[in-house]
């Protein structure tokens, strides 16, 4: 039976693209094969995911059945996608304005999943001509996250800034595009490969947030060997799949200090001898990051009480 990768899941169907030697078969005019999953997966509580490498069989009508799901190297819950090598978090600098607490919340979820992250700041052109009263927000955000250890790329689909840098970074990889609604995920993908012609929508100025243009998870093949999972935008995320004790490990800059805390299992909130708090007070850990950690911790405790 042939091997393939699920590139789209929609309304109970799984669209499988054939692969050979671990790579998708690119044949002009060939579309993905529409498949159903065997009932045994449902009985076992298993759902195929976009990104799954599968073994499938063909029927007489060029439709298929997913018979086996190969072991996953990684798995995300929101968005539901498997075998991603890294995540690209897209956040706009304007329309909607950059939301650092939400960016940090996305980073927590990606860190918890075990993936590395590339931060992509979009709509740079909307800052041109603005009078920046104090600090350049681009420089501030880049320095903040690069100091922690994240890679940051600044892009503009109108001017082309960062486009080739991003293309080179994605080449040959499977990654997931995610981020706040309205930040231009589909527009950026169209800029990377104009033949995609993905649907885009203007920002909703009345609501101050983007419309949900992308309706399902789908792997999009670029012409540089990259597969990109373009996912629905989210305006909020919850922490229901995480334990509160896992949170501090998702703030990677805490790690060298947490190991030296006086108390084992330190929450880094109020304990005496907490090296994370000391580092924050000395400016070695950014206060905005620490404040977001405290807010997320309280949110998680509250959700655990209610559920």
pLDDT in tens, 147-172: 999 999 999 988 999 999 999 999 98
- Outline where DSSP puts E strands in the chain: 3-10, 13-20, 23-24, 33-37, 53-58, 64-69, 75-76, 81-82, 86-92, 116-122, 151-154, 174-179, 218-221, 227-230
pLDDT per residue as tens digits for the range 179-211:
777 787 778 888 888 888 776 654 333 333 444
180 is in an annotated binding site: yes
Q: Phi/psi zone of residue 22: left (φ > 0), alpha (ψ -120 to 50 degrees), beta? A: left
Query: Domain 3-71 classified CATH 2.40.50.140?
Result: yes
Q: pTM for this one?
A: 0.80
pLDDT digits (tens, 9 = 90+) for 119-140: 999 988 887 655 444 457 788 8
Question: Is residue 125 marked as binding?
Answer: yes
Residue 146 has pLDDT above 70, yes or no: yes
- Classify strands 13-20 and 33-37 as parallel, antiparallel or unpaired: antiparallel
> Which pLDDT score is estimated for 113?
83
The annotation status of 35 as a binding-site residue, yes or no, is: no
Say if residue 186 carries a ligand binding annotation: yes
- 214 versus 87: which is more confidently predicted? 87
Residue 47 annotated as lining a ligand binding site? no
Q: Which residues contact 131 (CB under 8 A, 6 or more apart)?
A: none
The secondary structure of 260-287 as a DSSP string is: T-SSTT--SSS-TT-HHHHHHHTTSS-H
Whether 120 has a binding-site annotation, put simply, is no
Give the pLDDT confidence score for residue 15 in this predicted structure. 93
State residue 232's pLDDT score.
57
User: Is omega for the bond preceding 294 within 30 degrees of 0, making it cis?
Assistant: no
CATH fold group of domain 244-306: Ribonucleotide Reductase Protein R1; domain 1 (1.10.40)
Residue 185, marked binder = yes
Q: Quick check: 307 pLDDT over 60?
A: no
User: Could you tell me the fold of the domain covering 76-230?
Assistant: Rossmann fold (3.40.50)
Per-residue model confidence (pLDDT) at position 28: 47
Q: What residues does each domain of the chain span?
A: 3-71, 76-230, 244-306
State residue 97 phi and psi, 5-degree precision: -65, 155
**What confidence tier does 295 reach under pLDDT thresholds 50, 70, 90?**
very high
Asked if residue 179 belongs to a known ligand binding site, the reply is yes
Confirm or deny that 268 is annotated as ligand binding: yes
Residue 58: phi and psi, rounded to 5, are -100, 145
Is 142 within any annotated ligand binding site? no
How many Cα atoms sit within 13 Å of 291 on the Cβ side? 7
Ligand-binding site membership of 267 (annotated): no
Torsion 105-109-112-118 (CA) sign: negative
Q: pLDDT tens, 25-45?
A: 554 446 789 999 998 888 888
């Amino acid at each position: 039976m042939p091997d393939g990768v699920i590139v789209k899941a929609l309304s109970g169907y799984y669209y499988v693209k054939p692969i050979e030697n671990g790579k998708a078969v690119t044949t002009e005019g060939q579309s993905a094969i529409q498949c159903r999953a065997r009932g045994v997966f449902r009985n076992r509580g298993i759902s195929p995911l976009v990104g799954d490498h599968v073994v499938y069989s063909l029927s007489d009508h060029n439709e298929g059945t997913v018979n086996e799901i190969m072991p996953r190297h990684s798995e995300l819950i929101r968005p539901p996608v498997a075998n991603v090598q890294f995540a690209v978090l897209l956040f706009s600098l304007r329309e909607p304005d950059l939301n650092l607490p939400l960016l940090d919340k996305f980073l927590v979820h990606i860190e918890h999943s075990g993936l590395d992250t590339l931060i992509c700041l979009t709509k740079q052109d909307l800052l041109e001509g603005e009078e920046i009263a104090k600090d350049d927000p681009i420089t501030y955000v880049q320095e903040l996250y690069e100091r922690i250890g994240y890679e940051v790329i600044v892009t503009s689909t109108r001017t082309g800034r960062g486009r080739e840098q991003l293309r080179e970074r994605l080449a040959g990889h499977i990654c997931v595009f995610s981020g706040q609604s309205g930040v231009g995920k589909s527009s950026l993908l169209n800029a990377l490969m104009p033949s995609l012609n993905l649907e885009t929508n203007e920002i909703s100025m009345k609501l101050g947030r983007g419309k949900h243009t992308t309706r399902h998870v789908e792997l999009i093949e670029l012409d540089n060997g990259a597969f990109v999972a373009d996912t629905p935008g989210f305006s909020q995320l919850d922490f229901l799949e995480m334990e509160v004790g896992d949170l501090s490990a998702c703030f990677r800059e805490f790690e060298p200090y947490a190991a030296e805390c006086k108390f084992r299992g330190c929450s880094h909130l109020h304990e005496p001898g907490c090296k994370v708090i000391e580092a924050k007070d000395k400016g070695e850990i950014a206060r905005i990051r620490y404040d977001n950690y405290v807010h997320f911790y309280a949110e998680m405790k509250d959700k655990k009480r209610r559920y």
